[in-house]
Amino acid sequence: MSWWETAVGYEVYLRSFADGDGDGVGDFAGLTGKLGYIASIGVDAVWVTPFYPSPQADFGYDVADYRDVDPVYGSLDDFDAFVGEAHRLGLKVVLDIVPNHSSSEHPFFKAALRGGPGSTYWDRYVWRDPAPGGGPPNNWLSIFGGPAWTYVPEHGKYYMHLFLPAQPDFNWASPKVREEFVDILRFWAARGADGFRVDVAHSLLEHPDYPDNPLSDELRPGAAPRHFGHLEHLYDLDQPGVPEIFREWRRAVGPDVYLVGEVYLGEPEKVRKYVTGGALHQSFFFGLNALEWDPPELGRRIRRAVEVVPAGWGWVQGSHDEHRAVTRYGGGPKGVQRSLALWTAMMGLPGTPFLYQGEELGLENGAVAAGNVLDPVGLRQPSEGRDPCRTPMPWTISGETHGFSDGAAPWLLSRRRPDHETVEFQEAAADSPLKSMRALLAARRETASGRVGPVRRLDAPEGVVAYARDGVAHLANLTDEPVEVEVEVEVEAAGAWVLAYATNGGRPADGAVRLADGAVRLGERSGVILRKAS
């Protein structure tokens, strides 16, 4: 079995995790010092967001050098120290690779701009002539707003960018681009990376003719497309040649390096070809991220995803790109419990659950005043801004920055957190989201071995996720009412299931009661892991 098949991952948004050198920006020294905390939660792998030299126009997702560390995050030696310590603690390391686009400060793009059409590096990016009557070559839009094309008057050409103009798209039809990325992956694998998270993995190629995309139903009749959702992305995303690129990567880095993609395509059926047939191992499952609290719909979407590609998912509730799950689920103690109940549902599925930093604390969105917004998306479309999920980790109760930095003000300014949201408070409390998450992960680990079989759905009322797999059952009551669930037991007597964990406080008695007739009573917003008594 490969390590990721039983692992739980933890996403670190490096800028906001822990600042080791007092400049207000999280870095490798800070992260390395906190690896003991990460290991203590009970996760097995750390995914670190991009740390490469970058002008930070999109906070590191605009890479100017793929084989080094930006001085703001440390040095290659600091990276090596981080990997060494992670491995010593038994944690795998997953790096974030950004193959769709570079920074406009990348030497290849600068050389293309200098050299013009036909020069050595020109072909590494996507250049097109203006439309016949002038203007951009087609109607494609940037995900971050505005056209997907920027004009370069000296050369009379447009270049394409799915994101900011400062993030020109690589031309993946070029063999040179392919060679370059294989080399980059090998570079980091040789330095100890155990896997890669692949940024916007579904968008590397475009249709070779660059036709207009059709208008989507979201657009009012007669209106001009202005927003990414106003187009149907037939020609700029999800082109047939993309999974083959990941097959090449797998062949290049070998079977032990894990590849998990950000394949943001909605329907599990569309994602399937990226996570089967030797392409990526998994994609994150984004089917829940835009969803507010809707238990029957959450259950349905999880079920469908598992049916379509059983082991193909990295299970997430949020990331550095989404509003925090607890906030989306209503906030306060109710939001925290809902999120934990959903984690109980996710923790027994095939695939790899990934916590986003602070989810173990039940963190809500951070509050960033309008004048302090820094995210390029937030500056263009305030309601979609990503700063609220990127505010610094609250470590200590006291201190200006809750122990994130002991020097300068943090790079992203936000309102102080209440005491109960800090690591210090939750470590000391008898009962806290952190303690519940530890109990959940311990129960998962205790019941994990040999869980390779298919997921068998158990009968349960709507809004309750209930399934069994290899002698372990997960019951998660996503509703706000207590429920009773019959636990079907095939061979053993009805009483043979043992409670390993209950979401409310981590102690079985708080969240669930096992009844004599083989049923379990679950409190509202609580879940349990059950295993057969041996």
> Would you name the residues annotated as active-site residues?
199, 262
Subset of 186-215 contacting ligand NOJ (CB under 6 A): 199-200
Token pair of 118 as six digits: 């036909």
Closer to ligand NOJ at the Cβ: 14 or 529? 14
Q: Which is nearer to ligand NOJ, 15 or 525 (CB)?
A: 15
Q: Cα(124)–Cα(93) distance, rounded to whole angstroms?
A: 29
Interior/surface letters 296-331, b for 16+ CB within 10 angstroms, e for the rest: eebbebbeebbebbebbbbbbbbbbbbbbbbbbbbe
Helices 295-308, 332-346: axis angle to 10 degrees equals 20
Q: In angstroms, how far is the first alpha carbon of the chain from the final one? A: 23
Work out which of 140, 163, 284, 411 binds ligand NOJ, going by CB under 6 A: 163
Of 21, 123, 236, 262, the one binding ligand NOJ (CB under 6 A) is: 262
Quick check: 58 binds ligand NOJ (CB under 6 A)? yes
Does the CA dihedral 399-405-410-415 come out positive or negative? negative
Contact residue for ligand NOJ among 61, 79, 188, 329 (CB under 6 A): 61
Of the pair 59, 79, the CB lying nearest ligand NOJ is at: 59
235 lies in the site for ligand NOJ, by CB under 6 A: no
- Give min distance, CB of 110 to ligand NOJ, in A: 19
Query: Please, which residue, 169 or 364, has the CB nearer to ligand NOJ?
Result: 169
Q: Which of residues 481-500 bind ligand NOJ (CB under 6 A)?
A: none
The helix/strand/coil state of 426 is helix
Q: What is the DSSP letter of 215?
A: B
State both tokens at 289.
């991220």
Strand order in the sheet with 483-486: 483-486, 519-522, 512-514
Write down the least CB distance from residue 320 to ligand NOJ, Å: 6
Instruction: Supply the minimum distance, in Å, between the C-beta of residue 271 and ligand NOJ.
Output: 16
DSSP 235: T
Residues in the chain: 534
Exactly one of 98, 141, 389, 393 binds ligand NOJ (CB under 6 A); that residue is: 98
Cα–Cα separations (whole angstroms), residue 437 to 434, 487, 505: 5, 24, 9
Least distance between ligand NOJ and beta carbon 84 (Å): 27
412 binds ligand NOJ (CB under 6 A): no
Q: Which of 467, 466, 465, 471 is nearest to 450 (CA)?
A: 471
Q: How many CA atoms lie within 13 A of 287 on its CB side?
A: 21
Distance between CA 48 and CA 11 in Å, rounded? 6
Please identify which residue in 27, 123, 206, 321 interacts with ligand NOJ, judged by CB under 6 A.
321
Query: What is the closest distance, in whole angstroms, from the C-beta atom of residue 262 to ligand NOJ in the complex?
Result: 6
14, β-bridge pairs:
none
DSSP class of 279: S
- Closest residue by beta carbon to ligand NOJ: 61
What is the closest distance, in whole angstroms, from the C-beta atom of residue 58 to ligand NOJ in the complex?
5
We find the least distance from the C-beta atom of residue 61 to ligand NOJ, in angstroms, to be: 3
Instruction: Please say which residue, 123 or 262, places its beta carbon nearer to ligand NOJ.
Output: 262
Contact positions vs ligand NOJ (CB under 6 A): 58, 61, 98, 163, 199-200, 262, 320-321
